[in-house]
Amino acid sequence: MSDSCCQSKGCELTKLKKDQTQVLWAVLAINKMMFVVEFGASIQAASLSLAGDSLDMLGDALVYASSLYVVNKGRKAQAGSAFFKGILMFLFAIALFARASYQLFTGITPTAGVMSTVGLIALIANIICLLLLSRHRKDNLNMSSVWLCSRNDIIANTSVLVAAGLVFLTQSGLPDLAVGFVLTVVFARSAGQVLTQSWQEMR
């Protein structure tokens, strides 16, 4: 009876890890593709918010790759992976702040049409990722941290669309800059949350 119970639990755990792996591969592929699309569009449109969102996509792709590496490992390895994700989020916050500061002084006005079109595509892609990850967000620290990254993506995508609308209405680059600075704060706060949780777990 006990052996049967243990075997059953072992099978459930194996299936759970297999499901997690499949989901992580799917969202990794989506984020890699969207990074290329958004980064190219951010250059074409001279958009800070799109650049920030593309960096977020790249960071998430690296995050999902890291999560795949530790999906079959212990809690300490998963905590280390989450710590790595937190550092990445913080570095992207710094990079975005630097770009925002630069655009503030150059006075560039981004192209609203490109921002809105690509921002909408990115939003749809990230909603798909969030739905895929949602059923695993309470599995462990590894999966909860990637879910948090995906949730931040939805916030970033929505902000890009709001910025595009305001840029179109005002014919000014200030809304794009404002969103860039807001995304900087969001990334930094999320980084602090993930770093704190992972550090406690590693200890």
Q: Which CATH class is domain 16-202?
A: mainly alpha
135 — phi, psi (to 5°)?
-75, -10
Distance, CA of 61 to CA of 59 (rounded, Å): 5
Angle at 45 between CA 43 and CA 47, to 5 degrees: 80
- What pTM was computed for the model? 0.70
63 has a pLDDT exceeding 50 = yes
Distance, CA of 6 to CA of 26 (rounded, Å): 30
Question: What mean pLDDT do residues 36-47 have?
Answer: 88
9 has a pLDDT exceeding 60 = no
Q: Where are the domains of the chain?
A: 16-202
- Residue 5's pLDDT is 42
22 has a pLDDT exceeding 90 = no
- pLDDT tens for 76-130 read 776 777 787 788 778 878 877 777 777 777 767 788 888 899 989 999 998 998 8
31 has a pLDDT exceeding 80 = yes
**Number of CB atoms found within 10 A of residue 111's CB:** 17
Question: What mean pLDDT do residues 168-172 have?
Answer: 87
